Amino acid sequence: MMLVLAACTDGELAALALGGRQAAYRALMDRHRAAAFRLARHYCGNNDAALDVTQASFIAAFAALKRYDGTRPFAHWLARIVINKAHDRARRRKVRQFFSFALPLGEARSIAETAPDAERQVSDREELEKTMTAIAELPARLKDVLVLRAIEGLSQAEVAGLLGVSEKAVETRLHRARTKLTEILRD
């Protein structure tokens, strides 16, 4: 049964999943889990948050599967969901941080997210974390383009189509994102 599902296209798997075949949706998840997690990690800056965003994305994708156009790449459709879920998480995090200032100090500590202990990280891991954090701090418009184009390797046309902007806008935002990232990492 699994060998047959492995040979199916994403569109076929989506249709089977809509027909009630859980194994088909599991095959879609298995096929796209690593890329979705990688994309989420670039947005979130750490693995735990990326796992939460990835899980939320697959839940949302399953709920919205009827709206998926089987003739288009499932990976792009899912990437848009992951980006939206990462943006939602960032908004919630900003609200939590804002309200943590209004609470007594003892209560605020339980709300604030903690960063990994830097002393336990090796030099390369520290640099990677610093870079991932800097990417997560970029404004959403710049982060979207940087992650999709420079990190995930999508073409300029694919990024433009996925984000609904012109290719020139992708080029401009990518340049601005790299400049801003350099400034953040320099500080």
**Identity (one letter) of the amino acid at 163?**
L
Q: Where are the alpha helices (DSSP H) in the chain?
A: 2-6, 10-18, 22-44, 47-63, 74-100, 105-111, 123-137, 140-145, 156-163, 167-186
User: Could you tell me the CA-to-CA distances from 162 to 83, 98, 120 in Å, in that order?
Assistant: 11, 31, 38
For residue 48, what are its two tokens? 């735990």
Question: In order of start, what are the domains of the chain with their CATH numbers?
Answer: 7-114 (1.10.1740.10), 121-187 (1.10.10.10)
Among 68-77, 118-127, 151-160, top mean pLDDT goes to 68-77
Looking at the chain, how many residues does it have? 187
Neighbours of 93 (CB within 10 A): 15
Neighbours of 162 (CB within 10 A): 20
Report percent pLDDT > 70 for the chain: 82
User: What is the pLDDT at residue 152?
Assistant: 81
Predicted confidence (pLDDT) per residue in 23-81, tens digit? 999 999 999 999 999 999 998 888 999 999 999 999 999 999 999 988 889 999 999 99
Tell me which residue has tokens 């809509």: 18
* 104-121: average pLDDT: 48
User: What is the pLDDT at residue 120?
Assistant: 46
What is the Cα–Cα distance from 82 to 149, expressed in whole angstroms? 15
User: What is the pLDDT at residue 122?
Assistant: 64
3-state DSSP assignment of residue 73: coil
* 92-118: average pLDDT: 54
Does pLDDT of 169 surpass 70? yes
